[in-house]
Structure 1
């Protein structure tokens, strides 16, 4: 009998096997991986089971999960009974239980695994969503209850782990508001146990370590949110921090009160991996607000099919400013009766268009434009190898932003309220 002191915040977690899924998210040094490893050892000592431990890259197990489990076995004075074998990595228990280690970089080796009743995905945010679903298929046993434990440091809200276990705005799916988890620390929703932790929950950490985490607040706010607070969010610098979402009915009521609205339509073309993105915008030139009020967003559509689906624009004769890189496509739509013209493109136009959009004080999007919300709400800049932002490159290819660029062709968001600016606005309204 060996007594083992554990962090109080993890005591209930260690012995709670009531749910199929257990999702642990936390900051650096919170001890989540340590307690998952201890939980596995205690369970496999008690019951004969096969547990699978997974990381995205197999070789990273040796200095992380395998090393941690081996250290715990020695610390518990069980190394005379539990065998930790390093080639191949495997841990065997006296009752026939075993822990095997696999990497998603070698998915073929998963096919030979049978009767796995517990899967632990360490740093699950690094594993691809397809890999997670593949592991669900490998989790099976004829008699034992099945469990999957997922542990991770928080990442961006665009990661599959956040969208699957918390919120997927594109598909209007809410499982758990992550703010509720940060507030309550543990939650059970459906068949998932959620656990949030920070360095403050690890009573064995030296104060100097926590001080180091606190210093991140001054030089890297994103890393501070992840490492110190253990919270999901947007990684990087937002391109459009003024972006917000409004209920469509409220937005329509707002537009009806605008004294001098300017209406614009923009279209980006795509087919296989990119999208036909068509957007209606309304500009409030007085307040410098941009409203995104309607979207059409589809791929793998030939031009004739798309023309049929957006035929209302032939009737309204709205001018569609479109991607000039596709002159044949623009000519096709013109021949079909659409009022379409090419937006100007030039060296540096991506940067100039982006700066133009950023000059709006607010960008307000209808909640009926889910793709614009998905792309623009969390859109961030790419960074170069020196960690410097690239002002005209982004973390995704935002087709909605491209359509907005084209819609704003020959429109300028004035910086100064001068007579010249007012003249320009009057001229723009007449176009």
Structure 2
């Protein structure tokens, strides 16, 4: 019989073994790692199992997960029954259960592990997606039910763990709205239990710790969101804070109401890692609103196949302004009967084109353009070593933004103070 006072918010998680995946996300000091370790100890005392504990870097395990298990076992009076081995790092239980510790920076050592029925990935957001898939393959046992526990502080919505367990716009995958998790705190979807926690859920924290977290609200909003609120979001300064996603029908209705619409199409070329990105835009010059309502977004496509996909532009005689860095490609499309011309590029054009797009009061994108939404909604600036933003570099390579740059060639957004400027359609 073991008696241990635990935080009430973790009681359901602690004794639940009905699901394959357990995804715990929370702020600093919420005690999520503590309760994962306690959950494993209780399970391995009850059943003979082999558990694998993973962090991205092996050398970080001894002072984190391993020492946490030691502290809990000492607190429970189990240090005489449970044996801690330092080389190789293991924990052995009297019934034959054991915990093995590995780092993803030494993946070759995973190949010798067999009959693992439980895996705990601590700080899973630091592990690469390829590593996560490798671990799924290592989770196997002929008779026992399999479980994977993932714990993390929230990071950017661009991280793989957010895309896998919540939403991946690019792949059109939706599992759970993270806002629902923040509201309900514990949610079960299919074979996954989601668990959200913050410092207030840890009744053993001193009030001074929470006060320190509250102080982040003024001088570091990004860290406050992560540390205090335990929420995913965008890390860094948004390039287009005025970007909005609307239902497709609502965008078309808004475009139809524009008195003098300016219709444009722009194309960025790519093949292997990059993408052919072709967008249709409509500008409301008077209201200073940019509407994005059609996209073509594919890679590993030869020019002849792409020409077949976008033949409607040729049939309509619609002008495409394209990347001038690919003159041979532009010439090919011209020979195929497309109206296509090179957009101007010059030293500093990336910065100037980005500033042009930022001058729109609103950038409204159709829900039928998921790749544009995926690239631009949470697009942030890259930063230098001093932490200062680099105004013409971003956290990703946004091909749809390049397409917008080219589409707006020879167009200037009016000064927001009201000064008009000339433009060509």
How does the TM-score come out when normalised to structure 1?
Answer: 0.96
Distance in 1 separating the partners of 2:163 and 2:371:
15
The 3 A distance-change label for structure 1 pair 262 and 114 is same
Kindly report which structure 2 residues correspond to 1:287-306, keeping only aligned pairs within 5 A, or say none: 287-306=287-306
The residue number in structure 2 matching 1:409 is 409
Partner residue in 2 for 1:140: 140
Q: Which sections of structure 1, spanning at least 5 residues, go unmatched?
A: none
Structure 2 residue ranges without an equivalent (≥5): none
| Cα 1:236–1:416 shift into 2, 3 Å | closer
- Aligned residue number for residue 38 of structure 2: 38
2:232 paired residue number: 232
1:200-219 to 2 correspondences below 5 Å = 200-219=200-219
Q: 1:179: which partner in 2?
A: 179
Greater displacement, 246-255 / 116-125: 246-255
How much has 1:2 moved relative to structure 2? 5.2
What is the aligned partner in structure 1 of residue 20 from structure 2? 20
Q: Distance in 2 between matches of 1:275 and 1:330?
A: 16
Instruction: Give how far 1:67 is off.
Output: 1.1
**Offset of 1:388 from its aligned partner?**
0.8
Paired with 1:302 and 1:16, the residues of 2 have a C-alpha distance of: 52
Q: Does 1:123 align with 2:123?
A: yes
| 1:243 correspondence with 2:228 | no
Map residues 43-192 of structure 1 onto 2, 5 A cutoff: 43-192=43-192
- Residue aligning to 1:397: 397
Match of 1:325 in 2: 325
**Number of residue equivalences:** 425
> Partners of 2:417 and 2:395 in 1: how far apart?
34
- SS at 1:410 equivalent: coil
Alpha-carbon RMSD: 1.3
* More divergent stretch after superposition (393-402 vs 104-113): 104-113
Which string of whole-angstrom CA distances, capped at 9 and with x for unpartnered residues, describes residues 388-425 of structure 1?
1111110100000000001111111111566x726x1x
Q: Distance in 2 between matches of 1:172 and 1:337?
A: 34
Residue 151 of structure 1 deviates from its aligned partner by 0.4
Comparing 159-168 and 351-360, the one that deviates more = 159-168
The Cα offsets for residues 86-127 of structure 1, whole Å up to 9 and x where unpaired, read as 111100001100000111111121111111111001011111
1:244 offset after TM fit, Å?
Answer: 1.0
SS across alignment from 1:404? helix
Question: What's the counterpart of residue 5 of structure 1?
Answer: 5
Residue 173 of structure 1, CA deviation: 2.4
1:159 Cα shift? 1.2
SS in 2 for 1:402: helix
Cα distance in structure 1, aligned partners of 2:22 and 2:306: 44
How many angstroms apart in 2 are the aligned matches of 1:346 and 1:161?
A: 39
Match status 1:193 vs 2:181: no
Shift in Å, 1:176: 1.3
Q: Residue 277 of structure 1 aligns to a residue in which SS?
A: strand
Give the C-alpha shift of residue 4 in structure 1.
2.1
SS of residue matched to 2:387: coil
CA distance in 2, matches of 1:47, 1:417: 71
**Displacement of 1:141 after TM fit?**
1.1
Further displaced range: 247-256 or 357-366: 247-256
CA distance in 2, matches of 1:261, 1:114: 64
Partner of 1:421: 420
1:375 matched to 2:375? The reply is: yes
Q: Relative to structure 2, which stretch is displaced further, 353-362 or 301-310?
A: 301-310
C-alpha distance after superposition, 1:321-364 (max 9, x if no partner): 11111112112222222111111111111111001101111111
Q: How does 1:299-318 map to 2 (within 5 A)?
A: 299-318=299-318
- C-alpha distance 417-394 of structure 1, shift in aligned 2 (>3 A): closer
Residue in 1 that maps onto 2:265: 265
The residue that corresponds to 2:278 in the other structure is: 278
Q: Structure 1 residue 366: deviation in Å?
A: 1.0
Cα deviations across residues 34-59 of structure 1 (Å, max 9, x unaligned)?
Answer: 11001111111111100000111111
In the TM superposition, what is the alpha-carbon distance from 1:306 to its structure 2 partner?
1.2
| Alpha-carbon distance, 1:170 to partner | 2.2
Give, in whole Å, the separation in 1 of the partners of 2:184 and 2:328. 57
Give, in whole Å, the separation in 1 of the partners of 2:352 and 2:7: 53
SS at match of 1:64: helix
Contact between 2:359 and 2:416, CA under 8 Å: does it hold in 1?
no
